Structure 1
Amino acid sequence: MTKVMNVGIMGCGNISKSYLSLAPLFRGIKIVAVADVVAAAAEERAKEFNVSALTPDGLLAAPNIDIIVNLTIPAAHYEVSRKALEAGKHVFSEKPYVLSVEEGLKLAALAREKGLRIGSAPDTILGGTHQYARHLIDRGEVGRITSGLCGVMSHGMESWHPNPGFFFLAGGGPMLDLGPYYVSNLVQLLGPVKRVSGFTSMATNTRTVTAEPNKGKVIPVETPTNIHATLEFAQGAVITLITSWDVWEHGMEPMALFGTEGTIHIPDPNMFGGEIRVMRTASDDRKVTTVEQWEHPLSKPNHGASSANYRCAGLTDMAQAIVAGRPHRCNGDFALHVIDIMTGILRAGEEGRVVEMQTTCERFAPLGPDEARALLAEG
């Protein structure tokens, strides 16, 4: 029988609903309490999901909590995670993990000192589709990856998010908000990055919210909203990544990686599932064909007719890894390298230079179908 680790959620904003509603799908974790600086927000979530509502200090001090899930705003991630580690709790943070390499190094040192684990979203890259894409790349389906083109573009968060202001402040913007999905997937597919370059811009200094309850409110924009980056990987590939909230419409696909023997098209890494398409030079007609994927539990639609959402997979993998004494996948070193890449891109745009990475990481172990089933309450 799998040992269950008790989880407390710090921060009861929009994303907390996903964690609370999806946690019962998984084996080895149980969310028992929530906290927020706004007491009413914690009380509302607690009532909705039948868990305890605590103050932030109360959650940190609770003796029955093993892991704190940090769902606060990005600007608070470092301080909240630091306090959780100081309180003797393992930490799993929503992305972005931290806002600087320096913050991440401090947390890593503290975790080592305390004998604790750090994990971070995104865990969408554990989805069956992205793990199968890795399987195809690793077996040389399209040869050695030499280049690629990836992008996530829209007109921002103000049209749907109930409180979008923080997305446009320091620690926000499309690179630090949506970039983690793309950069994390690239690193788990190809390995660490050596250096980056980038250009950044900002279309407007303000945005007008069009979603309730703040419809009509004008909010400031204090971070780049259009970023065009180039990433040089240690294995030799050079990848272009665009993240922008200044685009109304486009025809670009999420991820296309070009190899010496073909091309692989990978779906949105903000989702666990999707369609993989491949063109192989070895085929007679060289047509792009849809790949038949393996039966992987973390790519089965469970969020509408065609969407797979298994957030808490990374948290569960960490909890089970703590019990088993093995490495976990969405770990602090991996997350810190992703932060190094993204902040390096922003610094490259600001300073007009190529930026060398300060960190590196290992590719974590693949998550095949059998390993994924072990994460689920009903494997």
Structure 2
Amino acid sequence: MERMKAGIIGCGTISSVYLENLQKSPIIEVVAVADLLDERAKERADEFNIENVYKVDGLLRQPEIELVFNLTVPGSHALTDVAILEAGKHVYSEKPLAVSLEDGKRVLDLAKAKNLRVGCAPDTFLGSAIQTARHAIQTGMIGQPVAATAFLMSRGPEWWHENPEFFYAAGGGPMFDMGPYYLASLIQVLGPIRRISGSVGIQIPERHIHFGPKSGTPLRVQTPTHLAGTMDFHNGAIATLITSFDIQGASDLPRIEIYGTEGTLNLPDPNFFNGDVKIRRPGEENAELLKPLFECGKNERGTGAGEMVRAIRSEKNHRANAELAYHVLEAMHAFQRSSLEGNHITMESTFKPDEDLYYGTDIMENSS
């Protein structure tokens, strides 16, 4: 299959992960990078032997580039996506799809009008862990799913990130930062969300950077740092989700558990592609480790883009798509709306996961 030439806009920390993986891809060739800071783009190009460094508008003018990775900060995602689509190129964006629902809808509508593809992280649900869990549910290993729990309980990124300010601006916080991994995974195994109720708050408003050259600098917190609530799925399952940057001690809560009429599935951290999936059946004291459907690495970010390119070439739908990203975006907003308005929020969007399981990755060097 012919390789698709791609460019990257946004050369921050996450771009290194993408570039390391994409250099192994048999179907994507990154030929250019761009960033608002020229020196950062040049540094990334030198690191990964990429010949072309452009201004953003210069990259978008290159006719050989068919796909652009949008790795900018969350507040710039929608605006950058629109510019990429207006330039006639497919886009694969980091999460979230947008900060506002209006901007997210604008991206979807423009892509449809231009007949272009929009892919969006997370793509970790294409890894062996979530696909193995989907297989277990599809084959009836736990009976009918009736409930689920999911927890992200951690300290904030000021403890590990040199520039954590954007995590506490609009479009940040634990829900917009890490919520997409949990929500996309739950949607993959349980289907679309019907309604949401939530409570949110800024439980620790006084924060300082604790890592890097800015250590000691105060942080302005402008978005909720603890969000908790319930989701009713169309299939009848009820899930509890908590995402928090306010947990100062270690937590022993599971990442994700799915409870069925005939057993329980324990899933690993959805921020990664692999990990142990365990099943515990009624009356059994110990959990059984399920054999993964396939082998994959812990971090194969870019897999969703590879799967999207294959789908474009074969004129099929891709899985890490804008419709899923928009359903996730609406859900994240619904937690905050519910807390503000004091009632359930009925979801207006929906999403049907691909019925076929995904059995491998496009990033590994031996991909065919």
> Which TM-score applies when normalising by structure 1?
0.94
For the residue of structure 1 that corresponds to 2:43, the secondary structure is helix
Q: What's the counterpart of residue 251 of structure 1?
A: 252
Matched residues in 2 for 1:26 and 1:255: separation? 30
The worse-fitting range, judged by mean Cα deviation, of 204-213 and 232-241 is: 204-213
Q: Is the 8 A contact 1:317 1:375 kept in 2?
A: no
For the residue of structure 2 that corresponds to 1:178, the secondary structure is helix
Pick one of 328, 338, 341 that aligns with 1:338: 328
Q: Is the 8 A contact 2:267 2:276 kept in 1?
A: yes
Q: Is the 8 A contact 2:21 2:363 kept in 1?
A: no
- Give the Å deviation of 1:204: 2.7
Aligned length: 365
Q: Is the 8 A contact 2:132 2:293 kept in 1?
A: no
Q: Deviations over 1:2-21 (max 9, x none)?
A: 11111111111110110011
For the residue of structure 2 that corresponds to 1:158, the secondary structure is helix
The worse-fitting range, judged by mean Cα deviation, of 345-354 and 221-230 is: 345-354
Pick one of 367, 370, 377 that aligns with 2:365: 377
Q: Gaps (5+ residues) in structure 2? A: none
Q: Deviations over 1:228-283 (max 9, x none)?
A: 010100000000000000002211010011111111100000011111111112xx
Matched residues in 1 for 2:335 and 2:327: separation? 12
Q: What's the counterpart of residue 42 of structure 1?
A: 41
Matched residues in 2 for 1:368 and 1:318: separation? 13
Q: Is the 8 A contact 1:160 1:210 kept in 2?
A: yes
For the residue of structure 2 that corresponds to 1:296, the secondary structure is coil
Q: What's the counterpart of residue 138 of structure 1?
A: 138
AA in 2 matched with 1:343: H
Matched residues in 2 for 1:168 and 1:128: separation? 32
Q: What's the counterpart of residue 278 of structure 1?
A: 279
Q: What's the counterpart of residue 23 of structure 2?
A: 24
Q: Deviations over 1:143-164 (max 9, x none)?
A: 1111111100111100111110
1:155 aligns with 2:155: yes
Q: Is the 8 A contact 1:275 1:290 kept in 2?
A: no
Matched residues in 2 for 1:57 and 1:206: separation? 39
Q: Deviations over 1:165-224 (max 9, x none)?
A: 000011000000000000000001111001001000112333100110211111100000
Distance 1:157 1:343, change over 3 A: same
Matched residues in 2 for 1:103 and 1:362: separation? 22
AA in 2 matched with 1:155: R
- Give the Å deviation of 1:373: 5.2
Residue pairs, 1:284-323, within 5 angstroms = 285-294=283-292, 296-298=294-296, 300=297, 308-323=298-313
Matched residues in 2 for 1:377 and 1:327: separation? 24
Residue pairs, 1:74-113, within 5 angstroms = 74-113=74-113
AA in 1 matched with 2:268: P
For the residue of structure 2 that corresponds to 1:31, the secondary structure is strand
The worse-fitting range, judged by mean Cα deviation, of 105-114 and 218-227 is: 105-114
AA in 1 matched with 2:193: V
Q: What's the counterpart of residue 304 of structure 1?
A: none
Matched residues in 2 for 1:148 and 1:288: separation? 19
Matched residues in 1 for 2:13 and 2:149: separation? 31
- Give the Å deviation of 1:376: 3.5
Q: Deviations over 1:311-359 (max 9, x none)?
A: 1100100011111111101011111111111111121122222111110
Q: What's the counterpart of residue 175 of structure 1?
A: 175
Aligned structure 1 segments of 4 or more residues deviating by more than 3 angstroms: 365-368, 373-377
Matched residues in 1 for 2:173 and 2:33: separation? 27
1:364 aligns with 2:362: no
AA in 2 matched with 1:143: G
Matched residues in 1 for 2:285 and 2:30: separation? 48
Matched residues in 2 for 1:348 and 1:116: separation? 34
Q: Deviations over 1:289-308 (max 9, x none)?
A: 2323135132x4xxxxxxx1
Q: Deviations over 1:55-92 (max 9, x none)?
A: 01111111111111111111110100001000001011
AA in 2 matched with 1:215: S
Q: Is the 8 A contact 2:303 2:362 kept in 1?
A: no
Q: Is the 8 A contact 2:195 2:344 kept in 1?
A: yes
1:226 aligns with 2:226: yes
Q: Is the 8 A contact 2:302 2:363 kept in 1?
A: no
AA in 2 matched with 1:55: K
AA in 1 matched with 2:160: W
Matched residues in 1 for 2:153 and 2:74: separation? 21
AA in 2 matched with 1:70: N
Matched residues in 1 for 2:157 and 2:362: separation? 35
Q: What's the counterpart of residue 184 of structure 1?
A: 184
For the residue of structure 2 that corresponds to 1:130, the secondary structure is helix
- Give the Å deviation of 1:365: 4.4
- Give the Å deviation of 1:107: 1.1
- Give the Å deviation of 1:288: 3.1
> Which TM-score applies when normalising by structure 2?
0.96
1:122 aligns with 2:122: yes
RMSD: 1.3
- Give the Å deviation of 1:99: 1.6
Distance 1:86 1:373, change over 3 A: closer
Distance 1:375 1:13, change over 3 A: closer
AA in 1 matched with 2:340: E
